[in-house]
Amino acid sequence: MEKHVHVFHHPLIQHKLGIIREESTGPKEFRELVNEIAKLMAYEITLDLPLTDVTVQTPVAKTTVKRLSGKKLGIVPIMRAGLGMVDGILSLIPVAKVGHIGLYRDPETLEAIEYYAKLPEDAGERELIVVDPMLATGGSASAALTAIKKRGAKNIKFLCLISVKEGIDRIHQDHPDVPIYTGAIDPGLNEKSYIDPGFGDAGDRLFGTK
Ligand SMILES: O=P(O)(O)OC[C@H]1O[C@H](OP(=O)(O)OP(=O)(O)O)[C@H](O)[C@@H]1O
Ligand SMILES: O=c1cc[nH]c(=O)[nH]1
Ligand SMILES: [Mg+2]
């Protein structure tokens, strides 16, 4: 299967990513920008949504217009940090259902520990957009995708703000069917497996807790 990584080059996405990278950007602005970036990314990845023709009556005449043909969508944030992207996407796609996968990366072993999972009952019939600001070693995203597939999901996209090659390779290896959409591919990981330069701990910066 062809490996799929899409980097968003849209100037608004790149500009906003630059602001959230700055250490001096506080939680309020960080949260707002993460949602705005997620919304812009959702706009781009929904370019291929199917449309159907319907007839409507304008005040002047009958005409044929386009309507979304009702493809079922879902958003699945990887908690905590993925929660920061949900409202932005929902503002464009309000009918999407929202599932949740709770995972944290053990700071010593870097292993992804699952603590929560709830998906739409018809997950297998939906296109699911799994969201997390960071794709670092890829352990969390890989575990989340496994957990989601175990519950029936078949059609999945992974959407993140920044990534590194290591995490992308891990997803390609473990989940070659899942295309990756990212705002940037950073040079690498530091000694604590944080993305370098990245923007630090996304969950901590969104919610102000450690
Ligand atoms: O690719 P990985 O090496 O697995 O790292 C990425 C994960 O780390 C962060 O979550 P974290 O473990 O900090 O949990 P949190 O969202 O609760 O802060 C981030 O939001 C990803 O889920
Ligand atoms: O850089 C990183 C790596 C993992 N998790 C984060 O929140 N940031
Ligand atoms: Mg965190």
Q: What ipTM, to 2 d.p.?
A: 0.96
The reported pLDDT for the residue numbered 104 is: 87
Q: State how far the Cα of 154 lies from the Cα of 176, in Å rounded to an integer.
A: 12
pLDDT at 2: 57
Nearest to 78 by CA among 141, 127, 126: 141
Which residue's alpha carbon is at the smallest distance from atom 3 of ligand 2?
194
Distance CA(104)–CA(115), nearest Å, equals 8
Is residue 195 in contact with ligand 2, taking CB distance under 6 Å? yes
Cα separation, 182 vs 104, in Å, equals 20
Q: Which residue is closest in CA terms to ligand 2's atom 6?
A: 201
User: For residues 66 and 51, is the Cβ–Cβ distance under 8 A?
Assistant: yes
Walking along the chain (210 residues) 10 residues at a time, the average pLDDT comes out as 86 98 96 98 95 98 95 96 98 96 88 94 96 96 97 97 98 98 98 96 91
pTM listed for this prediction:
0.95
Known binding residue 1? Answer is no
143 φ, ψ to 5°?
-65, -40
* CATH assignment, 5-207: 3.40.50.2020
CA of 162 to the centre of ligand 2 (A): 9
The answer to whether 75 is annotated as binding is: no
Q: Pocket of ligand 1, candidates 78, 140, 189, 194: which has the most ligand atoms within 8 Å of its Cβ, to mutate?
A: 140
